[in-house]
Structure 1
């Protein structure tokens, strides 16, 4: 019998033992503090540093991507997710899984995709290379907004939420998603 939580948090993982426990505990706090039925899925991509044991000890569901690569790990994790909504984010503690309520509110309001914005929330010193922060990402985000007429200000933010139904409509055939 599979459980159908409201939200699945999917974290791709490749040797994230230093930060994985922090990320899982933040996600668990988000569920607990907001009385949300959720699951945490660690999509492992061949970790050899104890990440799998850390995830299992913290009661996260671990799935193993057969193909190597970030996109393959994400796809494996998303397909294993049972939630109505999915939020994906890296397991390196670059995103704060405690503050996901704005994502969930927008998803509950019917949006199929909600993206984070590192520029609005602040970027830690040295977390993003200078050229990416001041040229690459802003220029590419501007071009995307111009051509697609959407209000996304950080096209490259890895913290994203979407409905499982929207993911199924994409009907992805390839192993990569990035």
Structure 2
């Protein structure tokens, strides 16, 4: 069975060779170039990846473009910056393949110094706690490595095209009665310059996007009378 791996990409030439070179057998990379000005697209093609160009900037825009361009029954998502090891993709997809879960997220465990700055870890912990209370899903991380079935994801009708996309996916999945789980994956120091978690400004922007999505998907019980 072939599984498509969607990799949103913005100027990741320093990392792509390592990431694509460690893709397991049966996992087909779909690199979504979100306006790179470096050699990312060229390197991706040279490594045998399918390259999709998404001119509209935004993490969610890139992820969704990859989802639309994929053709496999099961898809995975992961960052293209070498902070996650593709060799661990089978660990994330196993429960979906086995019919034990509908959506699985990789719970990041830092393995190298500086992999997960304190400000980014704190923001993630706060959002994950809110998500557990909201959905009942046993999640401790809004991990970017995840797996689900493509047709089911398309059926969720995801609309966010910024950093709220991963959170909206979980909220809509929970509202639809999906079985959601997480497994531990290694988290490494990224290669190249971070656009999000490596900077306080980037983290605050991501958190703001996710809070907006959380507010837009309030349960009836959350709303005032």
Give the TM-score band, short-chain normalised.
0.7 to 0.9
Displacement of 1:48: 1.7
- Answer yes or no: is the 8 Å Cα contact 2:110–2:116 preserved in 1: no
Q: Structure 2 unaligned runs (5+)?
A: 167-225
Cα deviation per residue 1:82-101 (whole Å; 9 max; x = unaligned)? 11111111110000001112
2:174 matched residue in structure 1: none
Cα deviation per residue 1:87-142 (whole Å; 9 max; x = unaligned)? 11111000000111222211112222110101xx3343222221332x33223222
2:126 matched residue in structure 1: 139
- Answer yes or no: is the 8 Å Cα contact 2:106–2:145 preserved in 1: yes
1:13 matched residue in structure 2: 9
2:54 matched residue in structure 1: 65
1:113 matched residue in structure 2: 103
RMSD: 1.7
Q: Structure 1 unaligned runs (5+)?
A: none
Name the stretch that deviates more: 106-115 or 165-174: 165-174
When residues 108 and 81 of structure 1 are mapped into structure 2, their CA distance, relative to the original with a 3 A threshold, is: same
CA distance in structure 2 between the aligned counterparts of 1:77 and 1:20, rounded to whole angstroms: 16
2:151 matched residue in structure 1: 165
CA distance in structure 2 between the aligned counterparts of 1:57 and 1:39, rounded to whole angstroms: 14
Given the two structures, how large is their TM-score scaled by the length of structure 1?
A: 0.84
When residues 86 and 149 of structure 1 are mapped into structure 2, their CA distance, relative to the original with a 3 A threshold, is: same
Displacement of 1:44: 0.3
SS of 1:15 mapped into structure 2:
coil
SS of 1:87 mapped into structure 2:
strand
Cα deviation per residue 1:143-167 (whole Å; 9 max; x = unaligned)? 2212211111112x21111110221
1:24 matched residue in structure 2: 20
CA distance in structure 2 between the aligned counterparts of 1:140 and 1:174, rounded to whole angstroms: 17
